[in-house]
Amino acid sequence: MLDASVTVLPGIGEKRAQAIRNLGLETVRDVLLSFPRTYKDFQTIVEPSQVEIGVEQLTSGKLTNLTERRISQGRRLIQGQLDGSLTLTWFVYHKGPGMSYLLRKLQKAETLWVYGVAKPSLFGAEMSSPEFFLRAPRLGLMPVYPLMAGVSNDQRIRWVEAALKHVHELPECLPEKIRGARPGRAEAVAEIHFPKSRSRYEEARERLVFEEFFLFLLGLQGSQEVRSGIAHKPDGELVKRYRARLPFQLTKGQEDALRQVAADMEAERPMRRLIQGDVGSGKTVVAEYGAVKAVASGGQVAMMVPTEVLARQMVKRMKESLEPLGISVELLIGNMKGKEQERVRAALEVGDCDVVVGTHALITEKVNFKHLSLAVVDEQHRFGVRQRSALLGKGNADLLVMSATPIPRSLALTIYGDLDTTEIRELPAGRQAVDTRLVDPARRDDVYRYLVSRVHQGEQAYVVFPLVDESEHLDLKAATQEMESLKDGLLSSVRVGLIHGQMGKEKEAVFEAFAAGEIDVCLATTVIEVGMNVPNATVMVIENAERFGLAQLHQLRGRVGRGNKGGICFLLAYNLTPHSRDRLNVVRTSNDGFFIAEEDLRLRGPGDLFGIRQWGQPLFRLADLKEDQDILTKAALQVKELLETHSLAEYPELRRELERYEW
């Protein structure tokens, strides 16, 4: 039953099953192993007059003095009093006449339960945009799950409750000696969803975090090959011609990276190197250099990137740089005609293609190389160890991994334990830092008027929304509704393209049109693709910026100002707590991605260091690299001991779980 489709769970038909694949939910097992991202403390209900400032609390009382007034185009403010002592406010979008849907709903409440954080105001305590309930919620620690448009937390709770009827089928994957006194796997999974107490929760979490770290590190260390590599030739005429054609001076960081890559590629030991460079630091030059060096030694090169849009952009750049040197470059992606794919695969097999740029299409069984000697993986965090190994399995290749998501040095060994690391810290000459501004939402219309003025000067812009739960419980408008509102209102004089999570291939078409200049403003509910290179894009507006991770915000703003004009990024935050203001000020005042990564680690709340959960590819389901260092250390010691003293063949269930585990 664990491997049955999610359609066996209540309220999930085929259409919804397709949609929630974006949350990683395809089977009953996936639902059980998709853990809460946090909990709401519904253990006690306090009186409205007794709420503490700055603490999330559940309170209830009689709702009075309910009013609604218009504050700007389509935006309204709803206010009321709870037992006459706690002010409640909500911001809503309602363009038409009459009352908003939210006001009509609130008017039905005789007693209202609200959950939120109170802050001081002129008239006593106030809760802004609290979650509310017309009936008393179930008391206890309430799980809160990752959501997407059209999926509410209540629905996810119902799916988990149904899936938990089969939790006893989850096999124990940790050997008894390693598990020790920790709770069993099935028991821990049941407890993490609906904890009976704080202490039981802590025990269950420790067990599951240890399991995640253990499997992750075992997969990393078990994937390392102990074989000799290819000793590429020292730099010759072809590399000299490539260097001579570069239209810019390399930075010291780039020169250092090239020297390290040269030493690795010329050695017999296989190169396993990570190039970490900030947004716009010029990592692609290092990949091009490696490609030229490989081809000069008679080898072939495969470069794997996470999206088809990036593949097309990268192949265009590679063709411009390498084809004048006589190096052939091809594209291989899933969205190509069958005959064209066959032509490229045939060229790779006989050696008529030197460099291929592609997506996951590169690691299918149909792709074979005559002599693959260099594999390049761009945006490492979007691919797993298994995918990386699959590409390396196409030949006895050196590996060059590139990442524009800087990671604190304290964690690099953990995440990239099997790779040597190079950092490129300087930006190329002429590359300007992005002007980043934290803007009061009251000036939102001014921001969009400025964006339109830049578009009318021939430039392009992005507007980014977080992926949200489309419900009145959150102070986030349904993103697609808000996008349509912008398109018909403040952005009606420019060409707008919309992208949201429910789109399939149309998403690629919109990205292509934006890159080609056929669209002026790209509006997206999901994050703009890492590496999107549109030099004409100069303005970015990030709605609900407080919902994003710092590293992610830094990545996003790196999409603008990539040409000869400077970029500007506006951060609009509607729920600005002192903590979120501190976080956003880090991005506002610094353009150093490495510093921002360190601050993200120091300041962030629950969530993932890279903001990868928003990218749709969490590094860990539950573990936190900052909070769980002690557990990580224990797991690393146990992995080392296991690999030194035992064979994985002795533990068939552990091996099976390792094969299922997605890095």
The yes-or-no verdict on residue 183 having pLDDT over 70 is yes
Q: What distance in Å separates the CA atoms of residue 295 and residue 354, rounded to the nearest whole number?
A: 7
Q: CA dist 317 to 324, 368, 427, Å?
A: 12, 24, 19
The band of 539, judged by pLDDT with boundaries at 50, 70 and 90, is very high
The band of 339, judged by pLDDT with boundaries at 50, 70 and 90, is very high
Query: For position 259, what pLDDT does the model report?
Result: 96
Give the best-scoring range by mean pLDDT among 225-239, 333-347, 384-398, 644-658: 333-347
Structure tokens at 2: 């664990």
The yes-or-no verdict on residue 624 having pLDDT over 50 is yes
E strands along 500-633, which residues? 521-524, 537-543, 568-572
Mean of per-residue pLDDT scores for the chain:
86
Least confident range from 183-197, 415-429, 478-492, 643-657: namely 415-429
The yes-or-no verdict on residue 604 having pLDDT over 50 is yes
Closest CA to 497 of 482, 511, 479, 478: 511
Query: For position 416, what pLDDT does the model report?
Result: 64
pLDDT mean over 208-228: 75
Question: Running DSSP on this structure, what letter comes out for residue 526?
Answer: S
Task: Compare 414 and 590 and report the one with higher pLDDT.
Answer: 590
Task: Compare 161 and 150 and report the one with higher pLDDT.
Answer: 161
Closest CA to 616 of 27, 30, 23: 23
Query: For position 417, what pLDDT does the model report?
Result: 62
The yes-or-no verdict on residue 406 having pLDDT over 80 is no
Task: Compare 632 and 210 and report the one with higher pLDDT.
Answer: 210
Phi-psi region at 312: left, alpha or beta (left = phi > 0; alpha = psi -120 to 50): alpha
Q: What distance in Å separates the CA atoms of residue 613 and residue 597, rounded to the nearest whole number?
A: 16
Structure tokens at 660: 């299922």
The answer to whether the CB of 32 falls within 8 A of the CB of 189 is yes
The yes-or-no verdict on residue 483 having pLDDT over 60 is yes
The band of 160, judged by pLDDT with boundaries at 50, 70 and 90, is very high
Task: Compare 128 and 483 and report the one with higher pLDDT.
Answer: 128
List, for residues 504-528, the tens digit of each pLDDT value.
677 778 888 998 999 999 988 655 6
Closest CA to 350 of 325, 367, 364, 370: 370
The yes-or-no verdict on residue 361 having pLDDT over 50 is yes
List, for residues 65-119, the tens digit of each pLDDT value.
999 998 887 889 999 999 999 999 999 988 888 889 899 999 998 899 999 999 9
Least confident range from 22-26, 291-295, 539-543: namely 22-26
Task: Compare 471 and 124 and report the one with higher pLDDT.
Answer: 124
One-letter amino acid of 56:
E
The yes-or-no verdict on residue 211 having pLDDT over 80 is yes
Q: What distance in Å separates the CA atoms of residue 495 and residue 530, rounded to the nearest whole number?
A: 23
List, for residues 264-284, the tens digit of each pLDDT value.
999 988 898 989 887 667 888
Query: For position 82, what pLDDT does the model report?
Result: 96
Query: β-strand 537-543 against 568-572: which pairing, if any?
Result: parallel
Q: CA dist 466 to 15, 149, 526, 551, 552, Å?
A: 23, 10, 6, 14, 11
Q: Report percent pLDDT > 90 for the chain.
A: 50
Q: CA dist 464 to 461, 498, 544, 556, Å?
A: 10, 10, 9, 9
Least confident range from 50-59, 150-159, 619-628: namely 619-628
Q: What distance in Å separates the CA atoms of residue 160 and residue 534, rounded to the nearest whole number?
A: 42
Measure the CA angle with vertex 519, ends 514 and 521; round to 5°. 90
Query: For position 272, what pLDDT does the model report?
Result: 86
List, for residues 222-270, the tens digit of each pLDDT value.
655 445 678 999 999 999 999 999 988 898 999 999 999 999 999 988 8
Structure tokens at 661: 């585990």
pLDDT mean over 433-453: 93
Least confident range from 37-51, 482-496, 532-546, 612-626: namely 612-626
Domains and CATH numbers, the chain: 44-133 (2.40.50.140), 237-424 (3.40.50.300), 435-590+592-615 (3.40.50.300)
Query: For position 531, what pLDDT does the model report?
Result: 57
Closest CA to 112 of 64, 76, 153: 64
